[in-house]
Amino acid sequence: MCELFGMTCNKHVNVSFTWRGFITRGSKHRDGWGVAFYPDDLSACIIKEPKPSINSPMAQFLKSANIIKSKIVISHVRAASRGSATYRNTHPFVRELFGREWVFAHNGTIDGEMPNPKFYEPVGETDSERAFCLILDRLRDLGRDANLHERARVIEEEAKKLSSISRIFNFLMSDGEHLFAFRSEHGSLYYTVRIPPHNVMVKLVDDDLEVDLSSIKGENEVATIIATKKLTVGESWVSLPPNKLMIFKDGLLIEYQK
């Protein structure tokens, strides 16, 4: 099964500490890894490879370099269930809609029959990319001027529909401004919120590294980290509620009307 990582912050920050722990999980999920971020909040930079992250010089370099700097980051380590271990099947996926690049990464397997997308076409063979195309089709039908509440309603409707024919259906999705997260009934997604003051010692679950968050976090920095499994010890992780779309912006959970 794949694993997901997401980050949203009120400032452009690098993710070397927490992402370092996540990318280590490529030792178990060996069919590919990828990371997407928004250098200018509109267009997405995607770096991915169809091989284990622990064997990737690029992934190891990114762990120590300050290249991944953004307000939103989505990352994925893959254990393939549909589609071969090729670049086209490696998450995250990206598509343009109304002048923004949307990014999507998925964890789970869709067992039921899926309709063919009307406009967006999958490049690879994964059920994940097809699900992304179906969600974007619905958003495209809403039109350019749809507000956040209308978009959220459509994304949640499509997510529940796909979840009903899936064993597990979890995903992270972004338009560069918002981070959308969805967990199915039998899925797993957790989040932790980092707000000032950051004077807390945090240790990575998957790496022998412990830091005082105040040494790496800005005084006014607010961030939320989302992951399939808890990434740290020393801070509180909360399970996302099942079958409900959660929306984060500038590091915090936001409310929306259905």
Query: How far is Cα 159 from Cα 161, in angstroms, rounded to an integer?
Result: 5
Query: How far is Cα 190 from Cα 100, in angstroms, rounded to an integer?
Result: 27
Check if the beta carbon of residue 237 is closer than 8 Å to that of residue 189: no
Angle at 148 between CA 146 and CA 150, to 5 degrees: 55
Query: How far is Cα 107 from Cα 77, in angstroms, rounded to an integer?
Result: 9
Q: Say which residue the tokens 């967006």 belong to.
A: 120
Among all residues, which ones are annotated catalytic?
A: 2
What are the DSSP calls for 85-144, one per residue? SSGGGSSPEEEEETTEEEEEEEEEEE-S--PPPSS---SSS-HHHHHHHHHHHHHHHH-T
Task: From residue 161, give the alpha-carbon distance in Å to each of 42, 135, 140, 172.
Answer: 28, 10, 18, 16
